[in-house]
Amino acid sequence: MSNDRVGAFAAAILASLGATAATAQSVTATSVDRNVGVLDRPRPDYDAVGMRSGAFILLPRLTTTIDFDDNIYATQTQKTSDTLVLIQPELTVRSDWSRNMIEGYARAAFDEYLSHGTENTEEYQLRGDGRYDIADDSNINGGGSFSRLMEPRYAAATTQGVRHPVRYDLGELNMGAFQTFNRIRFVEDVHVADFRYENAEDALGDSVLEKDRDRTEVRESGRVEYAYSPDTAFFLAGELNQITYRLQPPASLFDRNADGYNLSLGTRLDLSHLVRGEFRVGYLDENYDSAAFRSTSGMSMNGKLDFFVTPLTTVTVTADRSVGAAADPRSSGYLTTSGGIEVDHELRRNVILSGQVNYATDDYKGIDRTDDRWTGRVGATYLVNRTVGVSLYYNYTDVSSSGVDRINGYKINQLMLALVLQR
């Protein structure tokens, strides 16, 4: 079981458990959110309390997941099934101050397959964040992290047919600030991500080059918001990005260095008993240093809206259109368009039912390839008490590909049972 899918699974569990993860301050000048979705709702009888150490709160957590997977190699034919166990310990250390905040987070994840040990993986992540409150409506924030990760076999940008999942290291730094002046709010953010891959092996043991994917991505974003009313804000957002690959020709096939921008207009809503969230639409343009690649441009969008159908049912709609980095060295990248809908229902205070359907299409540039991805999930979480939660979920993945450079499509069925212990 690859751990980004585990991450999505665990996120649903932990949200239902009322996990006390740090909540970022609102970035609009609207009133404090009055609507609360099913997964975000405080549950005092089931929320983790943590352990106090001076001015800090320690929140340990252990997730154990059993995954029954009918296609562990994500292949079109000759599917291989197996059962695996994921053990994921976590620790969050957070300050308990009236102003300012610092937080540390550590996570490890160990996948153990019962019959196919070559698929076993180990991951870890270390992260630190902080916030300095200049005033009630202004702050400076920043953080950094380092992660050793395994790329899932079903990931959009992975290499098919390798003997073991591709391993990579990811280092990230970010710094941001926001200031509010009456109805106007300014938000700024700089994010740096550094990717370093390890070469893989094919079925015959020959080396498969992955180092040509090593790159540094720098993204600078800014946003100006106007609070039209306590319930509604409008904003203008802009982003500049620069992608620099370490290997250049002749060590790599093409020069895939790029830079681009994304400009968008959007709104944030918090309408009582109706809808909460934000949505933006705009224009993106990505240009490449190599004359072999044409620029990628077109409409961009991003949004998440929660509809409060009843006090016990929340419907969440998401949409996104952006540029991604391709694993295929012949491609400059791909334009991905995705959307999804999720329904969460509180059957009882401690029983949460969830269902989700997502669709994405990836249009690759420089090669003739388009991928279509359908994913679905249904399940339930039972909160035994504030320290124990149990979840059962079924996941379905269907990937198809078209074009001369298409990949092999595949389908995956998973049944997952998870036990979460927290303090």
**49 token code pair:** 């309390």
Phi then psi for residue 137, to 5 deg, are -120, 20
Name the amino acid, one letter, at 96.
D
As a dihedral over the C-alpha atoms of residue 6, residue 9, residue 11, residue 12, rounded to 10 degrees, the angle is -170
* Closest among 284, 294, 195, 182 to 247, alpha carbons compared: 195
* Closest among 268, 338, 331 to 296, alpha carbons compared: 331
Q: Please tell me the distance from the alpha carbon of residue 18 to that of residue 21, in angstroms, as a whole number.
A: 9
81 Cα distance to chain centroid: 26
Label residue 65 exposed, middle or buried (CB < 10 Å: 0-12, 13-18, 19+). buried
Q: Which 3 state secondary structure label does DSSP give 144?
A: strand
Q: What is the pLDDT of residue 24?
A: 35
Residues 133-170 as b/e (b if ≥16 CB within 10 A, e otherwise) read beeeeebbbbbebeebbbbbbbbbbbbeebeebbbbee
Q: What is the pLDDT of residue 327?
A: 87
Per-domain residue ranges for the chain? 3-422
**H or E element at residue 14:** helix 3-16
What letter does residue 16 receive in the DSSP assignment? H
Q: Please tell me the distance from the alpha carbon of residue 383 to that of residue 349, in angstroms, as a whole number.
A: 9
**H or E element at residue 102:** strand 101-113
Q: What is the pLDDT of residue 29?
A: 44
152 preceded by a cis bond (ω within 30 of 0): no
Whether residue 315 contacts residue 307, with contact meaning beta carbons closer than 8 Å, is answered with yes
Q: What is the CATH number of domain 3-422?
A: 2.40.160
- Residue by residue, pLDDT tens for the chain (423 residues) are 444 554 455 555 555 454 433 333 333 344 434 678 898 888 888 988 999 999 999 999 999 999 999 999 999 998 999 999 999 999 999 999 999 999 999 999 999 999 999 899 999 999 999 999 999 889 999 999 999 999 988 888 888 889 899 999 999 999 999 999 999 999 999 999 999 999 999 888 899 999 999 999 999 999 999 999 989 999 999 999 999 999 999 888 889 999 999 999 999 998 877 899 999 999 999 999 998 898 899 999 999 999 999 989 999 999 999 999 888 888 988 999 999 999 999 999 999 999 999 999 999 999 999 999 999 999 999 999 999 999 999 999 999 999 999 999 999 999 999 999 999
Q: Which 3 state secondary structure label does DSSP give 8?
A: helix
List strand residue ranges (DSSP E) for 163-312, in order.
167-181, 184-197, 200-201, 207-208, 215-229, 232-245, 258-271, 275-288, 296-310
Q: What is the pLDDT of residue 31?
A: 42
Name the amino acid, one letter, at 335.
L
Name the amino acid, one letter, at 420.
V
Q: Is 161 left (phi over 0), alpha (psi -120 to 50) or beta?
A: left
Q: What is the pLDDT of residue 154?
A: 83
